[in-house]
Amino acid sequence: MPTDSRLAGPALHLADSLWQDAALKFGNTAGAVLGFLGVLLAVFFAAGRATGRFSRPLAVVLMLGPAAVLLLTGLVVPLLRTVYLSFYDADAAKFVGGKNYGWAATSSPIHEVLLNTLLWLVIAPIAATGLGLLLALMVDRMRGQAVYKSLVFMPMAVSLVAASIIFKLVYESRGAGQNQVGLLSQLAVALGWDDPPNWILSQPLNNFLLMGVMVWVQTGFAMVVLSAAIKAIPDEITEAARLDGATGVRLFLHVTVPMIRTTLVVVLTTIMIITLKAFDIVRTMTGGNFGTQVLANEMYSQSFEQYNTGRGSALAVILFLAVAPLVVYNIALLRKERATR
C-alpha cells in the first residue's frame, strides 16, 4: 500500500480525494454487479412460480432474451448499419455510392496502408509460428522446461499497449555521442556502429521492428499449442516410420509435420486474425506515422480522428471481408481437429 504519511500537506489532501474517488467508483461498480444479479434472481424467483403451458416459453424468453437483444443491438444491427454508412459521405448525410471504396482502392496513402497490412499478415504469423514450432520441438526434453515455456509464453498475458511500451524502450534512440538508453542502439554501438539510426523513424525497417512486437507476443502461444499437438501424436505412428528407416529431421518432416498439420494451420490462421485486427501496436508506437500505418489503425483514425464516417466504415467493411474467411476457415479446422481426436 502507498504510504500516505510520506505525502506533504496539499498532496495529502489530493491523496485523500483519490481514495474517495476510488471508493465511489468501486461502490458504483459493486452496485451495478449486485443490482444486475439481484434483478436476475428476483425475475427467476417470480418466473419460477409460473406453471402450465406458459412456463416453457417464459423460460426461453427470459433466459435467451437479454443475450438476443444485446446481440441484435451490438452486432447484427451495427453490422448492417456500417455497410450502409460506407456508402454515405463523411457526415452520413449524403449517398455517395462506391466513392469511399474507390478512395480506398486508388488513393496512394491507402495503398501504403494495404501493403503494410499485407506484410504484417504474412510475416508476423509465419515468424511466430515457425519459431514456436522450433521451440516446441527443442524444449520438450529439456530439464526445467516449465520455466522456459512460462517465460516465453508470458508476453501473451500483458496488453499489446504494455508490450509496445516495452519495445519502445528497446528501440529508443539517442544522438551520437550521448549514452544510449535503448538496448538495440546499445547493441549496435557495442558492435562498432557508432551512430545507429533512430529505429522508429527509419523506413521501411520500422515496420519490421513493429512486427517484432507481435512475434514476441505470439511465439509463446504457438509454442504451447504446438507442443501439446506433438505430444498427442500416437507412438505407433512414429514407431512404424522408424522401422521403415526414418530418423531425425526426415522423421520430423515426413511424420511429425503432417501429423500436426491441422494444428499448425489453426495456429497460423489464429495469429493472422489477431494481426489483422490489432491496431494497438501501431497506435502506441508510431500512431501510424513514418510509413507504418495498417488497416485496423487507419480505420480507427478515419472514424474517430478525421470523423469521416463513410471512409471509416468502408475500411471496416474491408477489414471484415479480410477477416471473415480466415475465421470461418479457422473454426472449420478446429472442428475437424476435434472430430479426429
Partner 1 sequence: MSAEPTFDKASGSGVGTGSGGASGSGAGRASGSGGAARPDLPPAKAIRRAFSSPLASALVIAVTVLWTIPTVGLLVTSLRPKEDVVSSGWWEAFVHPDLGLENYRSVLFDNSFGTSGGLMPYLVNSIAIAIPATVFPLVLAAMAAYALAWVRFKGSDAVFFLIFALQVVPLQMSLVPLLRLFSGGAHLGSVTVIPALNLKDTYLPVWLTHTMFALPLAIFLLHNFIAQLPRDLMEAAVVDGASHFKIFRSIVLPLSAPALASFAIFQFLWVWNDLLVALTFAGGNPTVAPITSRLAQLSGSDSSHWELLSAGAFLSMIVPLAVFFALQRYFVRGLLAGSVKG
User: 134 is written with which cell numbers?
Assistant: 522450433
φ and ψ at residue 66, rounded to 5 degrees: -55, -45
Q: Where does the chain have alpha helices with state H?
A: 9-48, 55-71, 77-85, 99-106, 108-139, 145-153, 160-170, 183-190, 205-231, 235-243, 248-251, 257-259, 261-277, 280-285, 295-304, 309-340
Binding mask 185-224 for partner 1 (x = CB under 8 A): -x-----------------------------x--xxx--x
Does position 42 bind partner 1 by CB under 8 A? no
Q: Which of residues 108-167 bind partner 1 (CB under 8 A)?
A: 131, 134-135, 137-162, 164-167
Q: Nearest to residue 230, comparing CAs of 309, 100, 134?
A: 134
CA–CA separation, 141 and 226 (whole Å): 15
Sole window of 54-62, 95-103, 112-120, 201-209 interacting with partner 1 (rule: CB under 8 A): 54-62
Report the chain's C-alpha Rg in angstroms: 27
Kindly state the smallest distance separating residue 186's Cβ from partner 1, in Å: 5
Sole window of 101-109, 119-127, 202-210, 324-332 interacting with partner 1 (rule: CB under 8 A): 324-332
Greatest Cα pair distance, the chain, in angstroms, is 85
Kindly state the smallest distance separating residue 192's Cβ from partner 1, in Å: 17
Q: Which of 13, 20, 38, 44 binds partner 1 (CB under 8 A)?
A: 44
Binding mask 261-300 for partner 1 (x = CB under 8 A): --x--x---x--xx--x-xx--xxx-x--------x--xx
Q: Residue count at the site for partner 1 (CB under 8 A)?
A: 151
Burial class of residue 10 in the structure, from the number of CB atoms within 10 Å of its CB (0-12 exposed, 13-18 middle, 19+ buried) = exposed
Q: Which of residues 299-318 bind partner 1 (CB under 8 A)?
A: 299-300, 303-304, 309, 312-313, 316-317
Cβ-based nearer residue to partner 1, 204 or 239: 239
CA 109 to chain centre: 24
Sole window of 17-25, 99-107, 108-116, 119-127 interacting with partner 1 (rule: CB under 8 A): 17-25
CA–CA separation, 332 and 18 (whole Å): 50
